[in-house]
Structure 1
Amino acid sequence: MSDIKTIGAQDVEHLPTYPVDEKSDTERDTGREIDPQVQRSLLRKFDYAILPPLTLMYLANALDKGNVGNAKTDNWDTDIGLVGNQYYLLVMIFYVPFCLFGTPISMLVKRYSAARVLPIMMFGFGSMSLFAGIAKTFGQIFAIRWFLGIFESAMLPGTVYYLSTFYQRGELASRVGAFYAAAAIAGAFSGLIAFGTFHIEHSKYHSWQFLFWIEGERGATVTFAIVAFFWLPRNSDTWWMLTEEEKAVARARILEDSSVTIDEKFNIRDAFRPFKDPLYWLWALISVSLGVPLASVNNFLPQIVNSLGYDKLKTNLYTVAPNVVGTVALLILTFSSDFFRERTIHICIPLATTLIGFIVLGAIDPIAHRGVAYFACFLLTMGASAPSVLVATWYNNNTPQESRRAVVTAVMVALANSSGLISTNVFRAQDEPKYVPALATSAGFGGVCLLMVAGTGIWMRWENRRRNIEQGTGNMRAQDVPTEALGEGPKSPSFRYMY
């Protein structure tokens, strides 16, 4: 094997003179430039061998989570004897374990690797989706939705953390966006599948049962979970697909622009330390506020489209185009955010777009102005998903310690998902078909989120300039300082916010 001549990306000693934290216990690989050819080979392997299985896992997750909305348009609720607000209670109950179990399971992700924990969770939610097709009472569906919430709770935070151990900060949003696009496109697939299955006429089974079975893919989800368990690498150091040179470059890349140390031992007290910083409480409020419009779109888009006066077949077919456009918007925003290494403006744009969509839907008669109302549905989907991805990337980018990052991501995602409790409680049976109170509530939370994100971004820019002036470091940016030199995170003198 040839000598490894290119490992680290920057020599810490050659940076401008500013205070740098002492070295961690992890041996540093900085000191030489990264070979671009080796880096391209490494990224190709990450993109083609890690992202696709994670994306398929999340696609199955999203299909399982959202199919009750499509099933309701085929009278699933009346066929199993739901009355009053029981349907909305079933949608809501999913979020209780989803929020409660996300953080503890994410700690297991850090301790035992997402490559092992997430496939086990997939096995669980795949099993639950199969049971949904044969459940015929409120109690049975209630239990299934409860366990579904447990098994799906750590999928997003676990994956975001997992990807942050392979990709640098300026690469993370686009990869999480590509992964999260599975959830957005699931809405389109779910509508197409529902459109097809609702044409099925069977003397023994309802067409909505076929919807659950097809989207549960019978044993396919469970089988793929077993494959993913053995396929996904625990980390780059032990991955058989990488050469020794690629492993060294992978390590140097993470120390340069992602983490303080690699594979640090999990310390629960240290992992929760970021919450002593008021900034993380602000991110918590942002997560809660962005979660309301996101949950409203994810759970109730079929009902919103149904309010336009279409029958069950057209309703599900007409959810496809908005979800496809929303997926394209998500990818454009996340790739642009990585290209410009900018987060806050790219978060504000989709928040404003969705806000306009909710205002338009709430202000007009959807039947009398069907074209305008349907266009507003596109505005909802164009702005619903991107803020969730970019905010998660944002606080990940500014948390260089692995254990802290795993816990912060889990807590923030749990808070965002807790907003589903708000959304499901404001979409009430008595407000059908226009759901004006729910639309107004979603718009209000989205507007508050927009103001908080903009304010936080402005403060970060000001704080970076203040530190540069105080330390005499010119126009130093986040990417100018190796993350391994930031042992105390934002308290490190050399820390610069990635905004």
Structure 2
Amino acid sequence: MIAANFGFSGLVTYSVSYFLPIILRDSLGFDVVKAQCLTAPCYCFSLFLGFTEAVVSDKLNIRAHIIAFNAVLMIIGVAVLGFAEQPYVRYFGAFLVTAGKLTAFEGCGGADFFLVGSNSNVTASMTYQQNNVVGQWKRAFTSANMVAMGGVGGIVGTLVFRSQDAPQYVPGLATCFTAAGATLLSVTATTIYMLNQNRKQAKGQIIIEGVPGFRYTI
């Protein structure tokens, strides 16, 4: 599930990074120079949101909530960007998509914040995985799975915005919408499972990951 989150997030990440200027030019009617320049404010907003999420996530010790929140932002942003009528309203949707795809990576031991502008919930998924997998080799294996899924998502993301779909790019936007929705469903299912396991651990019924006292970080 965590690797799936990584892959779905990677799909939206690469799609937005590669094709947002093209969408601004062909779909919203900006010229090449404006389309390139107008991507910068989206990432500035993402930077602010990312730092805010980093502080909140670390203070409250939450992970899945951040992934889910960003997935919702992506869903709303794709809907506005793809189907609103006014160009500047659609541009606001670009802010939400870009903001939703950026989050903070927090070091497993504390508030070590790294903002990666070209990655999305990818970084939150990495933190989610590192907090909830025990053992050096198991972490290495799950990390490799995540990187592989991220690569798959990146490949799909580079192919879904086709020139023949201009200027609306409905298949590409629909793919991003689906990926964000799948991320939300995936993290919801994972959270339910982990909460159930934590309850059993609290009652002394199970030992999670074979480590006494270990509990999943939700």
Same fold (TM over 0.5): yes
- The aligned runs of 1:299-314 (5 Å cut-off) are 299-306=18-25, 307-314=27-34
Q: CA deviation at 1:471?
A: 5.2
Q: 2-side partners of 1:434 and 1:412: how far apart?
A: 31
Hey, what does 2:210 align to over in structure 1?
Answer: 491
Stretches of structure 1 that go unaligned for 5 or more consecutive residues are: 1-281, 473-485
Deviations 1:69-120 (A, max 9, x none): xxxxxxxxxxxxxxxxxxxxxxxxxxxxxxxxxxxxxxxxxxxxxxxxxxxx
- Structure with the greater alpha carbon radius of gyration: 1
- The aligned runs of 1:76-475 (5 Å cut-off) are 282-306=1-25, 307-365=27-85, 369-386=86-103, 387-470=121-204
Structure 1 letter corresponding to 2:45: V
Deviations 1:102-148 (A, max 9, x none): xxxxxxxxxxxxxxxxxxxxxxxxxxxxxxxxxxxxxxxxxxxxxxx
Q: 2-side partners of 1:463 and 1:403: how far apart?
A: 22
**Structure 1 residues 417, 401: CA separation in 2 closer, same or farther (over 3 Å shift)?**
same
Q: 2-side partners of 1:284 and 1:300: how far apart?
A: 24
Secondary structure, aligned partner of 1:470: coil
Q: 2-side partners of 1:462 and 1:291: how far apart?
A: 28
> Does the CA-based 8 Å contact 1:292-1:446 persist in structure 2?
no
Structure 2 letter corresponding to 1:436: V
> Which one scores higher on RCO, CA 8 angstroms, separation ≥ 6?
2
Deviations 1:350-371 (A, max 9, x none): 1100111111222234xxx111
TM-score by length of 1: 0.38
CA RMSD of aligned residues (A): 1.9
Q: CA deviation at 1:420?
A: 1.6
Hey, what does 2:115 align to over in structure 1?
Answer: none
Hey, what does 1:71 align to over in structure 2?
Answer: none
Secondary structure, aligned partner of 1:438: helix
Q: 2-side partners of 1:335 and 1:411: how far apart?
A: 28
Q: 2-side partners of 1:495 and 1:284: how far apart?
A: 21
Q: 2-side partners of 1:331 and 1:417: how far apart?
A: 26
Q: 1-side partners of 2:82 and 2:87: how far apart?
A: 13
Structure 2 letter corresponding to 1:300: F
Q: CA deviation at 1:400?
A: 3.0
> Does the CA-based 8 Å contact 2:3-2:142 persist in structure 1?
no
Q: 2-side partners of 1:400 and 1:467: how far apart?
A: 16
Q: 1-side partners of 2:210 and 2:24: how far apart?
A: 48
Q: 2-side partners of 1:403 and 1:463: how far apart?
A: 22
Q: CA deviation at 1:458?
A: 2.2
Structure 2 letter corresponding to 1:288: G
> Does the CA-based 8 Å contact 1:295-1:420 persist in structure 2?
yes
Structure 2 letter corresponding to 1:416: G
Q: 1-side partners of 2:210 and 2:53: how far apart?
A: 30
Deviations 1:418-463 (A, max 9, x none): 1121122211010122211100111011101101102211221121
Stretches of structure 2 that go unaligned for 5 or more consecutive residues are: 104-120
Q: 2-side partners of 1:310 and 1:435: how far apart?
A: 16
> Does the CA-based 8 Å contact 1:398-1:497 persist in structure 2?
yes
Among the aligned pairs, what percent are the same residue?
A: 34
Q: 1-side partners of 2:46 and 2:23: how far apart?
A: 16
Q: 2-side partners of 1:285 and 1:320: how far apart?
A: 29
Q: 2-side partners of 1:329 and 1:345: how far apart?
A: 14
Q: 1-side partners of 2:192 and 2:150: how far apart?
A: 23
Q: CA deviation at 1:334?
A: 2.2
Q: 1-side partners of 2:32 and 2:205: how far apart?
A: 64
Q: 1-side partners of 2:101 and 2:19: how far apart?
A: 12
Q: 2-side partners of 1:344 and 1:318: how far apart?
A: 31
Structure 2 letter corresponding to 1:363: F
Q: CA deviation at 1:493?
A: 4.2
> Does the CA-based 8 Å contact 1:342-1:498 persist in structure 2?
yes
